[in-house]
Amino acid sequence: MTMSHLDLGRRRELTLPEKIWTINWGLVLLVSLLACVGFGMLYSAANGHWDPWASKQIARYGVALGVMLVVAIVDLRFWYRAAYWIYAIAFLLLIAVEVRGAIGMGAQRWIDLGVIQLQPSEIMKVAAMLALARYFHNVNIDDIGRPLLLIVPVVLVLVPAALVMKQPDLGTALMLVLGGGVMFFLAGVRLWKFAVLIAAGGGLAPIVWRFLRPYQKARLLTFLDPESDPQGAGYHSLQSKIAIGSGGTVGKGFLEGTQSHLNFLPEKQTDFIFTMLAEEWGLIGGLALLALYTLVLIYGYAIAFRSRSHFGRLLALGITVNLFLYVFINTAMVMGLIPVVGVPLPLISYGGTAMLTVMFGFGLLMSVYVHRDARIGRPGDADG
């Protein structure tokens, strides 16, 4: 049974050169293209200088690219086995942030490892997908309806989400809950159960409201009426819209964005980098970037359905959904569609942990592709 558990079936193991040959180089190219857009925007954010952001980001991308390729050629079955361990490590790091996290940006999000500042909440986004993919891999379709079986995955999602929210990091908590929810949906959880959850969530909203920090409340309120307080909490949202809108069709040109360079735009190198892109490159640039992301998403779906294992399919879809949530929450936020929450634009925003975890996620996606024919058994599965 233990043998069949990790059975390769009729297929033989791929050799290393074969694996490297199998890596989806088109996706690598696409990811690198997005990263290059990021370098350009960071270069512009520093008023046409490589320092302080672009140069560091390039170095990080180099490291992250290596990590991605290594992750891609590591056997998918290893990731299957390691899923819960990775989740456990991410969870412990999250607890550690609570205990001895340094204060950064007004929120406890970082662990200072000396060389790198680690942001466990970012890691948790990938770790949760891994854990859920493994969990649902092992639940057969007839059992999915049993409410008791859902307790463990609900805890897997909500406990870290609550911890992240307490940091406070509304954006990441939102991503965890939404990403987890999509995984539940993909796993086959009945729709009416979501309805119950959403209703319960609605009932909980007033209670959650009481736990929100004043600045979070202010952001939610100003989202509803951003022009009400243009110098106060609505400032970010309004300035971002002004910058995007003033970009027009073709934008103001590279390095020519007035609003971002005159510092009217806050956090232009991190969460609001899309704003600067839209200001300098206009509608054409903004749509082109969204198109690039859409191509990556299509790759994700394609990879998911080439996989022969449920774990692979769920993991690929989870990572794809995760990427989508990053992109959607970030761009919708800077365009004033949703409140300002701290979610970076993947591969473009300046930031080490986000870059590493996103690339780690792409590595997993590629691993699913490289090992698409790997069969991952289930306890109790007779057929290999």
* Residue 134 touches another protein, criterion: CB under 8 A: no
Q: Under the criterion CB under 8 A, does residue 247 sit at the interface with another protein?
A: yes
Residue 224 interacts with another protein (CB under 8 A): yes or no = no
- The least distance separating another protein from the CB of residue 336, rounded to whole angstroms, comes to 8
Task: Check residue 145 for interaction with another protein (CB under 8 A).
Answer: no
Least distance from C-beta 144 to another protein, angstroms? 9
194 binds another protein (CB under 8 A): no
Residues in 42-101 that interact with another protein by CB under 8 A: none
Does position 313 interact with another protein (CB under 8 A)? The reply is: yes
Note whether 198 binds another protein by CB under 8 A: no
What separation in angstroms does the CA of 383 have from each of 5, 6, 283, 376, 379? 10, 12, 53, 11, 11
Closest distance to another protein from the beta carbon of 184 (Å):
10
Stretch that binds another protein, among 62-70, 77-85, 210-218, 259-267 (CB under 8 A): 259-267
Q: Is 318 in the site for another protein (CB under 8 A)?
A: no
Whole-number minimum distance, CB 145 to another protein, in Å?
A: 12
**Is 218 or 332 the residue whose CB approaches another protein more closely?**
332
Instruction: Decide whether 166 or 378 has the Cβ nearer to another protein.
Output: 378
Q: Least separation, in Å, of the C-beta of 6 and another protein?
A: 17
Query: CB 321 → another protein: shortest distance, Å?
Result: 7
User: Interface mask (CB under 8 A) for another protein, residues 272-311, using x and -?
Assistant: ------x---xx--xx--x---x--x---x--xx----x-
Residue 234 is a binding residue for another protein (CB under 8 A): no
CA atoms of 296 and 337, how far apart (whole Å): 23
Q: Which residues bind another protein (CB under 8 A)?
A: 140-142, 182, 185-188, 239, 241-249, 258-259, 262-264, 278, 282-283, 286-287, 290, 294, 297, 301, 304-305, 310, 313-314, 317, 321, 324, 328, 331-332, 335-337, 383
